[in-house]
Amino acid sequence: MKKKILVTGASSGFGLLLAKELHKRGYNVIGTSRNPDKNQSSLPFKMLALDITDDKSIKSFRKQLFTEIKQLDVLINNAGFYLSGLAEETTITQGKQQFETNFWGTVMLTNELLPYFRNQRFGKIVTVGSIMGLISLPGGAYYAASKHALEGYFKALRFELNEFNIKVSMVEPMWSKTNIVTNSKVAENKISDYDEYRTTLEDYTKDLLSKSEEPTAVVETLLKLVENESPKFNNPVGKGSSLFPAIQYFSFKTFENSIIKNINKFKK
């Protein structure tokens, strides 16, 4: 029987590429979007409406999902967005919105589906975190916090679901060429004291983003996790994705100095 795979945020970026590839490989794929009709006619897999920040949307999505399929083999928690800006310049409302989507939205959807996974006594949950869930860089405090929170949550869940033969993993990509920047939100509360540092940081970030990698490696890793019987918990992807967390862990000072040195190169 074809494995049934749910991919959230399948309208763009990693989610879209992954859903297309899974469909090509013969899986029964269900994708989600807040506007599922927008691209449905050009997609080979079924798209369902889902806003992970909205409890009503999650409940009606769950009903629709289980009329489409009778079992769920894999949940890929991919939906999310990027909030950029200095911590103090980010309003608390914006910070909460970042958590509403990246953390609470992901957790709420997972929770809604857990009873089905438990009843089946099998399944797999793969969540797209970020390298920013393992390290933290200036200009992305709330994004990093939301992704760190996911790491903590799913690490505990991995132990708890082991009892039920449900595998839990994370994927931690480096910057990749998707629509994440176009869809990002920016800190609204500019404080003049930060003007110089903000400009330097913007140039540093632009340079980082210009070195973004193709999303192929992330999609490949997700495919391997779908097919692997015993997936690892952490799966960093991209150049330096294993090195940076390791340096930070063994010598935070070395990590910190190298980041500061790189940022200072962009000082005017």
Binding residues (CB under 6 A) for ligand NAP: these are: 8-9, 11-15, 33-35, 50-53, 78-82, 101, 105, 128, 130, 173, 175-176, 178-180, 183
The secondary structure of 189-226 as a DSSP string is: ---GGGHHHHHHHHHHHHHHHHTPBPTHHHHHHHHHHH
Cβ distance to ligand NAP smaller for residue 2 or 96: 96
DSSP code for 102? I
- Encoded tokens for 99: 């958590």
Strand runs (DSSP E) across the chain, as ranges? 4-7, 28-33, 46-49, 74-77, 83-84, 123-128, 166-173, 185-186, 236-237
CB 245 within 8 A of CB 134: yes
Whether 82 is catalytic: no
Beta-bridge partners for 70: none
Cβ distance to ligand NAP smaller for residue 83 or 86: 83
Residue tagged active-site, from 143, 194, 197, 249: 143
Nearest residue to ligand NAP, by Cβ distance, number only: 13
3-state secondary structure of 173: strand
Cβ distance to ligand NAP smaller for residue 35 or 257: 35
- Encoded tokens for 20: 């297309």
Query: Which residues are known catalytic residues?
Result: 143
